[in-house]
Amino acid sequence: MSNSNVYGRLWKLETKLNMMILDGKRDPQMVADALQKIIGESQKFALLAGLGIITVPEDYDHSTRLAEFRHNNYYKFYSYDHTITDANFGNPTRILKPGDKLWVRAFKQIVPGTTTSEERMAFLATQEAIHTGAQGLSLVFEQKRDQLPKGKSYVSFDEPDRLWQDAGGDYGVPSVYCHSDGDFNWSHGVFEVVWDDDSAFLCFCNLRPEFSGA
């Protein structure tokens, strides 16, 4: 759909919505609250770092990726979460394949207080993000860890039904923490908790045309 068609559609929807409010068919306060929520979502987060493109190796095997990652990288971490396994985190929304190329960015929270996983997922949807789970996170560590700003954790979100559920019923969200001294933690957070500005999150996107030659 061209931009002109999108803008025309927006104008028609705005006109129809205004008429429905004037006719008493829509509550103006509810409409105002809904519009404020749409505007507010994009203002809670901002780009922290552009990480460029990651490439899935030709010998990549999704079924054993996390076991292989542990074997190759265990001693590069200050602490390592043993619950992040192929069995527990083997069902991300996007299953990566050898040769895939993804555009990756890290976003940060720019409002005081906390934000929820749902708010962060809603923002990722505005960026047309795809969810690659612990597998995508592992590739970021291997290929881009030197570009991660220190002093923050980097979370790889997904839908709850794609995440590992622990014995207490909480959904685990894989993350890597980059210490200010250069050490790393391989761990997971909890989808149901709130997040503060110490926790950044990754945005994986299909390669855009302007990067196709990279």
Cβ neighbours for 8, distance < 8 A, ≥ 6 positions apart: none
Q: Give 109's strand partners.
A: 45
Q: How far apart are CA 159 and CA 190, in angstroms?
A: 12
If asked whether residues 29 and 97 sit together in one domain, one would say no
Residue type, 130: I
If asked whether residues 95 and 20 sit together in one domain, one would say no
If asked whether residues 168 and 145 sit together in one domain, one would say yes
190: its two tokens: 């909890």
Residue type, 94: R
For the stretch 61-87, pLDDT in tens is 999 999 999 999 999 999 999 999 999
- Residue 14 pLDDT > 90, yes or no? no
Question: Burial, 63: exposed, middle or buried (Cβ in 10 Å; 0-12, 13-18, 19+)?
Answer: exposed
In this prediction, residues 164-190 reach a mean pLDDT of 96
Question: Is beta strand 194-195 parallel, antiparallel or unpaired with respect to 115-116?
Answer: antiparallel
If asked whether residues 54 and 144 sit together in one domain, one would say yes
What is the domain count for the chain? 2
If asked whether residues 30 and 49 sit together in one domain, one would say no
What radius of gyration do the chain's Cα atoms show? 20
If asked whether residues 21 and 64 sit together in one domain, one would say no
Give the pLDDT confidence score for residue 11 in this predicted structure. Answer: 77
If asked whether residues 15 and 113 sit together in one domain, one would say no
If asked whether residues 89 and 190 sit together in one domain, one would say yes
If asked whether residues 75 and 163 sit together in one domain, one would say yes
Q: Which domain holds residue 27?
A: 3-39
- Residue 171 pLDDT > 80, yes or no? yes
pLDDT band at 211 (very low <50, low <70, confident <90, very high): low
Percent of the chain with pLDDT over 70: 89
Q: How far apart are CA 103 and CA 206, in angstroms?
A: 6
If asked whether residues 128 and 100 sit together in one domain, one would say yes
Sign of CA dihedral 89, 90, 92, 94: positive
If asked whether residues 186 and 81 sit together in one domain, one would say yes
- Residue 10 pLDDT > 90, yes or no? no
For the stretch 40-60, pLDDT in tens is 555 899 999 999 999 999 999
If asked whether residues 7 and 49 sit together in one domain, one would say no
The three-state (H, E, C) secondary structure of the chain, written as one string: CCHHHHHHHHHHHHHHHHHHHHCCCCCHHHHHHHHHHHHHHCCCEEEEEEEEEEECCCCCCHHHHHHHHHHHHHHHCCEECCCCCCCCCCCCCCCCCCCCEEEEEEEEECCCCCEEHHHHHHHHHHCCCECCHHHHHHHHHHHHHHHCCCCEEEECCCCHHHCEECCCCCEEEEEEEECCCCCEEEEEEECCCEECCCEEEEEEEECCHHHCCC
For the stretch 136-161, pLDDT in tens is 999 999 999 999 999 999 999 999 99
pLDDT band at 2 (very low <50, low <70, confident <90, very high): low
